[in-house]
Structure 1
């Protein structure tokens, strides 16, 4: 069984899209892929109740309880490793991970970013795209590496920037696409080596 652990900090809409896709497409029976747990660094994250309602085990590791970022990441890595994950998925996890965590799960750590990377890494992507006069924006599923938002790209979706767009309206349309491409990229990533064509991102590029 290929276990997935999903990390969240907020409402968990991308997490829910992944879980629902896994359930509707019967990933466990058809592909041996299971959503093993959802872990949040915020006790009040709305996505925790959402995950529980979808039948997924949840856990909270409050980052405020740890003296340093490295201490938290070490504890998080231990909690994730307990599920023997084939893949760790960041779904609105609002923490910059340290090398302690990234190196432990290298090659099996994915993120979705709300821009067409390599454009606009970091925060405030939608307003930055509007301010730059971009005609299109979008989202990117990528592997996580030690450097922020520069890992290998697995999939992207393009959304037009409309003349009347605000950061909020553009974000809402981009989020709809995130819900489409993230589950698809995860399934493709985990199935990539099934026919002997390699594994992970290497056979998607």
Structure 2
């Protein structure tokens, strides 16, 4: 079984979806062993408590450098024998320190149909651009921003009467459905 760590910075909706869905699979291909958050205020912490998943709050500001911050994360991952990292709303760029330790073993979910609208506000960027469609992309993490090899994508047609809140809601529905399934499929061949 593949041992997964999820990284989050905020709400933790995708984290919860991954954990709950994985617990309902007949075939146990992966297990979410821990959550790492980078903000004390992240609601994902509460979700981890309710789900019984160990949570580590690792605050970047408490380290002299990004290198030392990521070395601490690597230490936690190694102690827990983590095989795969799933970024789920983790709002930090992964540096070569962590990337080289887990090359091709870090995946991310992005709320846009890449290569369109990369960066921290894919939903808002698509909405403000008046895009007729967007979507969700799951990809490997590389040195760039949302530029890694694409694992899975799903398109979403943006209805004319949708406001930004409705678009966010529809994107999250797709994310919560496809992230656990994509993880499952990845772990079959891990």
Q: TM-score range by the shorter chain?
A: over 0.9
1:115-139: per-residue Cα shift (whole Å, max 9, x none)? 0011111022223223333211111
Contact 2:2 2:29 in 1 (8 A): yes
Evaluate the alpha carbon distance shift between residue 130 and residue 11 of structure 1 in structure 2; reply closer, same or farther with a 3 A threshold. Answer: closer
Q: What is the 5 A alignment of 1:10-21?
A: 10-21=10-21
Q: In structure 1, how many angstroms separate the alpha carbons of the residues matched to 2:43 and 2:117? A: 27
Evaluate the alpha carbon distance shift between residue 171 and residue 35 of structure 1 in structure 2; reply closer, same or farther with a 3 A threshold. Answer: same
Q: In structure 2, how many angstroms separate the alpha carbons of the residues matched to 1:172 and 1:10? A: 16
Are 1:81 and 2:74 counterparts?
no
Please give the root-mean-square deviation of Cα atoms over the aligned residues, in Å.
Answer: 1.4
Q: In structure 1, how many angstroms separate the alpha carbons of the residues matched to 2:46 and 2:123? A: 28
1:84-132: per-residue Cα shift (whole Å, max 9, x none)? 1121111111111111111111111110001001111102222322333
Structure 2: unaligned runs, 5 residues or longer: none
| Residue of structure 2 equivalent to 1:196 | none
Q: In structure 2, how many angstroms separate the alpha carbons of the residues matched to 1:20 and 1:163? A: 33
SS at structure 2 position matched to 1:134: coil
| Residue of structure 1 equivalent to 2:158 | 161
Q: In structure 2, how many angstroms separate the alpha carbons of the residues matched to 1:78 and 1:86? A: 13
Number of equivalent positions: 190
SS at structure 1 position matched to 2:52: coil
In the superposition, the TM-score normalised over structure 1's length comes to: 0.87
Contact 1:121 1:148 in 2 (8 A): yes
1:23-81: per-residue Cα shift (whole Å, max 9, x none)? 1114xxx3352211111111221111211211211111111211222221121122122
Task: Select the residue among 69, 72, 79 that pairs with 1:72.
Answer: 69
| Residue of structure 2 equivalent to 1:128 | 125
Task: Select the residue among 57, 60, 66 that pairs with 2:57.
Answer: 60
After superposing on structure 2, the runs of 4+ consecutive aligned residues of structure 1 that deviate more than 6 Å are none
Q: In structure 2, how many angstroms separate the alpha carbons of the residues matched to 1:139 and 1:131? A: 17
In the superposition, the TM-score normalised over structure 2's length comes to: 0.94
Q: In structure 2, how many angstroms separate the alpha carbons of the residues matched to 1:189 and 1:88? A: 12
Structure 1: unaligned runs, 5 residues or longer: 193-198, 200-205
Q: What is the 5 A alignment of 1:108-187?
A: 108-187=105-184
Task: Select the residue among 85, 91, 97 that pairs with 1:94.
Answer: 91
Q: Which has the higher contact order (CA 8 A, sep 6+)?
A: 2
